Structure 1
């Protein structure tokens, strides 16, 4: 009887064992796809894909795949001065073995451009915050005006001084830039976000 009981217990524990999810893991700068290696994730993880576009008079596409661990899933952020100088990032998660097998994807959204009107400028030769030369209208009412001065590192490893003012999404203001694979920021001298009044709306008579 004891032998039978032991066998039954082993069988029950075997049935209750749940294998951890497997995900692809890779990092690729200046690319829209990476396949990566199969890895087993910790308990509670999903499979994550981080896609980013960075525009510095040229668009750099980057992608990272990994286990989600404790990172927040399914959100996006952006920052921009104008159509030539901008940054967008989307973090997408899925459940199921090796489900993060797709490519680079920035979620398409329709913006109202009804947010604050922020000072705007960009400079590549100073670590001081650049002086505004124009303004830019933010995409959403929840956007913030932001400023940054530090070093920008391109995929080839070349670093350059970079200073900017413009608009940033609320999520971007909380982001630590650790997931950026393409254009990286380093040696940050100053950065921050501030809330300004919404842009002036014309009176309708």
Structure 2
């Protein structure tokens, strides 16, 4: 076979592959690390598996998403800590290939080493006015920025609350803020400042 026909065949195969959408596993579990009733969905790009751990006092929820990839989120790990009892961790893994997103729930191991940064530490539920506090929180691992947030949020249990908080966040979490979350939905933003 000549090099021209080999190149032509490779180009034809690439075009043929791009003409058909990718098949991805699809499911959403807001309160579990396993999806019930997985199905199949056609996606124009890559597939994605997203894992999230949301902890707020007595509420401790792990969530899992499988489906079409939001390409801007691929490879991101978001981490946020407010007070010592409010944390959100979320990880997005993308892949290319039919039904390649069969990954299990996965979050990178938490780095608990202090990184030298301290941030204002405040958490108020039921208000989106500034939450005042003279306390600070010692930031750890990849959480190398301070954050202040005020707004209204829909929680994993579908309840809605106003929050005002200050704490530590990593660059991915700040850059993509609520766009990266699985089972927490921002309803109204008053302020997000990193």
Same fold (TM over 0.5): yes
Structure 2 match to 1:74: 75
| Aligned alpha-carbon RMSD (Å) | 2.2
Return the structure number with greater helix share: 2
Structure 2 match to 1:49: 49
Return the structure number with greater strand share: 2
Deviation at 1:179, TM superposition (A): 3.8
State the alpha-carbon separation in 2 of the partners of residues 69 and 116 from structure 1: 31
- More displaced stretch, 47-56 vs 173-182: 173-182
Paired residues of 1:115 and 1:142 also in contact (CA < 8 A): no
Paired residues of 2:77 and 2:172 also in contact (CA < 8 A): yes
Partner-residue secondary structure (3-state), 1:172: helix
Paired residues of 1:129 and 1:165 also in contact (CA < 8 A): no
State the alpha-carbon separation in 2 of the partners of residues 186 and 147 from structure 1: 17
* Structure 1 residue corresponding to 2:40, chosen from 31, 38, 41: 38
Partner-residue secondary structure (3-state), 1:171: helix
Structure 2 match to 1:156: 157
Deviation at 1:112, TM superposition (A): 2.8
**After TM superposition, which residue ranges in structure 1, 4 or more long, deviate above 3 angstroms?**
none
Compared with structure 1, are the counterparts of its residues 134 and 157 closer, same or farther at alpha carbon in structure 2 (3 Å cutoff)? Answer: same
State the alpha-carbon separation in 1 of the partners of residues 142 and 55 from structure 2: 23
State the alpha-carbon separation in 1 of the partners of residues 48 and 76 from structure 2: 11
**TM-score, length of structure 1 as denominator length:** 0.78
How far does the alpha carbon of each residue in 1:100-153 deviate from its partner, in whole angstroms, 9 at most, with x for none?
123321111434311410010111122112012421111247611100111122
Rg bigger for which structure?
Answer: 1
Unaligned runs of 5+ in 1: 1-11, 194-205
Deviation at 1:185, TM superposition (A): 2.5
